[in-house]
Amino acid sequence: MIQSFCPKGEILVIDDTNANLKLISDFLVQSGFEVRIAKSGFQALKLLEDVSPDLILLDVMMPKMDGFETCIHLKAWDKTKDIPVIFMTAMTDLAKPENKVKGLTLGAVDYISKPIQLDELLARIRIHLQLRSLTQQLQKQKDLLDSIFNESADAIFLVDPETGLITECNQRAVELFEAASKDELLNIEGQTLQKEYFSPKKLNSIWDEIEIKGFWSVELEYITKKGNLFWGNLAVKQIKVADQTMNLVRVTDITKRKQAEEELRQSEARERKKSKELELTLKQLKNTQTQLIQSEKMSSLGRMVAGIAHEINNPTSFIYGNLNHAKQYFRELLSLIGLYQKIYPNPTPEIQHLTQEIDLEFVMKDWSKLMKSMQVGAERISEIVRSLQNFCKLNEAEIKPVDIHQEIDNTLLLLQNKLKSERVSEVGGDRVVHSAIEVIKDYGKLPPITCYASQLNQVFMNLLCNAIDALENQLPPRTITITTQAINSKQPTTNNQQPITDKIFIRISDNGQGMTEEVLQQIFEPFFTTKPVGNGTGLGLAISHQIVEEKHRGQIRCVSVPGQGTEFSVEIPVNLTDSIL
């Protein structure tokens, strides 16, 4: 901003007449100026070696060196060339046009005639001091702008919006575009510096946007005068230059940033690839770990079941085999007691006392029930042992046809204790009895399924155990529904035109609390569990997923709605050998 003018300053008065020097200097001092005087041009030049006045009043008519010659020296000297000079001369001299023209030509800024009118003198001095001050400030601003313009780290152009021609540019533009000189960039169309031209339609839209918003920017690839490419950020802003609208164009070299972005993009791509590879490797390791755990678990279970079956079967067979003998012995003893009572209707007091003590009449009525109960219990033990053997079948690793319904029933038999158990809890201060879980079977007509039976049994066990756990705190009624269905998707190949069943569905659902979407997304992940620490390994569903999808080429899915329950659906091929082939 141009500062307001302060009228005070230092003035040098050069005149060979003492009266004029005194008159002018006294007046200027009274007006607030600092005044220095010289009586000749030689004296003035000597004085100016040490001082730099703001303005010089110079008499034209002086001996030896007149005012014109003195002015020539002043304007030739760098130190004094910019100091405004006002000639003082008589009216007769001023009346000669050639003198006035000569003085102005030599660099004087004004003339004032003698005799001096002091008020006029003061006015002219103030005007020229103000003009000098303004000129100095403008020069400073120009120097500052030139410095900013030329020292800018960005290439700067002035472009005529009508013609698109470059009218001015800074030194950085010369360097960035590898031009031999500024002239090589002036008066050429700005688009010639771009790798690709804008289409006329695009160019019109750019100018329209600049006219509306006054600003536009984009990242472009440029080509230098030497044919080298670089990336630049182009920013265009409309400005006014001497009442003419111009486009101020700034190009910032962003090549290093673009290279860094490309390197980062490639690095991120490499890292994503590595991450995917690591993720795949981790998944494979987890699957391997799961398989090892499953194999070890099933192997241990198989050894345990084999031992239990052997240990239980022997005494069970002994008990079951002797029940008929025991019944026969009881019948014979009871016949003997009846005979004694018939022959000796009046037993001794000792016999009567023992008869009453053992409640012989009750024993004679209850013994058959007791024997039948023992027989049922022995048969139940045998049935449980057979279910355990059928469940594991570790000695039957080959694929074989099985009855899926029988396999599910075997699993349910092993879970009877958990299904039938009742528990009591308090809900809102009230005592609530959680009744046994009801299992609803909706079995469809299924053909024999060729599969790994023991592995599918493990899937059923995992799904049913999860359903039971989900109903632990559920208010009555507590139900698990098992649905099976045959899927006929193959075209008939026989004359009877009957559809061919090639897949089956098994759905196991409960009416528990359900799962959130967040939990649902993770349930098949190895080691993921929502159970308290120590109550679950987090491997059950992961193993089930692997058995169904990898071993049996099927699908296992889960649908759950919080507050409504959960349903697991298993789809497997009827003939696994066909699926593998």
pLDDT tens readout for residues 453-472: 888 888 998 899 899 988 88
Amino acid of residue 271: E
- The answer to whether 62 and 90 are in contact (CB under 8 A) is no
Q: Picking from 127-136, 278-287, 316-325, 399-408, which range would have the lowest pLDDT averaged per residue? A: 316-325
Task: Give the pLDDT score at 86.
Answer: 92
Task: Give the pLDDT score at 476.
Answer: 82
Amino acid of residue 7: P
- The answer to whether 450 and 576 are in contact (CB under 8 A) is yes
Distant-in-sequence contacts of 557-562, Cβ < 8 A, 24+ apart:
558/515, 558/520, 558/523, 560/514, 560/515, 560/520, 561/514, 562/513, 562/514, 562/515, 562/516
Instruction: Count Cβ atoms below 10 Å from residue 136 Cβ, excluding itself.
Output: 14
Comparison of pLDDT for 580 and 473, the residue scoring more? 473
Inform me whether the pLDDT recorded for 222 exceeds 80: yes
- Peptide bond before 492: cis, by omega within 30 degrees of 0? no
Q: What is the mean pLDDT of residues 295-314?
A: 65
Q: What is the mean pLDDT of residues 180-206?
A: 87
Buried b (16+ CB within 10 A) or exposed e, 9-47: bebbbbbbeeebbebbbebbeebebebbbbbbbeebbee
Yes or no: is domain 152-253 CATH 3.40.50.150?
no
Angstrom distance (rounded) from CA 571 to CA 120? 113
- The answer to whether 237 and 246 are in contact (CB under 8 A) is no
- As beta bridge partners, residue 223 has 229
- The answer to whether 56 and 75 are in contact (CB under 8 A) is no
C-alpha separations of 577 from 300, 332, 385, 458 in Å: 28, 60, 30, 20
Angstrom distance (rounded) from CA 110 to CA 10? 18
Inform me whether the pLDDT recorded for 55 exceeds 80: yes
For the 10-149 domain, the top CATH level (class) is: alpha beta
Per residue, the 3-state secondary structure of 432-460, as one string, reads EEECCCEEEEECCCCCCEEECHHHHHHHH
By percentage, how much of the chain surpasses pLDDT 70?
Answer: 85
- The answer to whether 225 and 173 are in contact (CB under 8 A) is no
- Hey, what CATH topology would domain 398-580 get? Heat Shock Protein 90 (3.30.565)
Question: Which of 541, 547, 391, 540 lies closest to 454, judged by CA?
Answer: 391
Inform me whether the pLDDT recorded for 89 exceeds 50: yes
Buried b (16+ CB within 10 A) or exposed e, 392-418: bbbeeeebeebebbebbbbbbbbbeee
Q: What is the mean pLDDT of residues 374-401?
A: 67
Q: What is the mean pLDDT of residues 69-93?
A: 86
Per the structure block, which two tokens stand in for 22? 């005194």
- The answer to whether 420 and 372 are in contact (CB under 8 A) is no
CA torsion angle for 525, 530, 535, 541 (degrees, to 10)? Answer: -30
Inform me whether the pLDDT recorded for 138 exceeds 90: no
> Between the ranges 219-223, 281-285, 302-306, where is the mean pLDDT highest?
219-223
Per the structure block, which two tokens stand in for 426? 């308090």
Comparison of pLDDT for 435 and 430, the residue scoring more? 435
Q: What is the mean pLDDT of residues 244-256?
A: 89
3-state helix, strand, coil in the chain (%, to 5): 50, 25, 25
Task: Give the pLDDT score at 301.
Answer: 60
4: DSSP letter? P
Angstrom distance (rounded) from CA 212 to CA 88? 57
CA atoms within 13 A on the CB side of 172: 17
Buried b (16+ CB within 10 A) or exposed e, 143-166: eeeeeeeeeeebbbbbbbeeeeeb
Angstrom distance (rounded) from CA 83 to CA 55? 6
Q: What is the CA radius of gyration of the chain?
A: 57
Its pTM surpasses 0.85: no
Angstrom distance (rounded) from CA 170 to CA 177? 11
Angstrom distance (rounded) from CA 581 to CA 577? 6
Inform me whether the pLDDT recorded for 305 exceeds 70: no
Angstrom distance (rounded) from CA 258 to CA 61? 72
Q: What is the mean pLDDT of residues 315-336?
A: 80
- The answer to whether 568 and 508 are in contact (CB under 8 A) is yes
Inform me whether the pLDDT recorded for 401 exceeds 60: yes
Inform me whether the pLDDT recorded for 419 exceeds 70: yes
Angstrom distance (rounded) from CA 222 to CA 197? 10
Angle at 170 between CA 166 and CA 173, to 5 degrees: 75
Task: Give the pLDDT score at 504.
Answer: 93
Task: Give the pLDDT score at 580.
Answer: 54
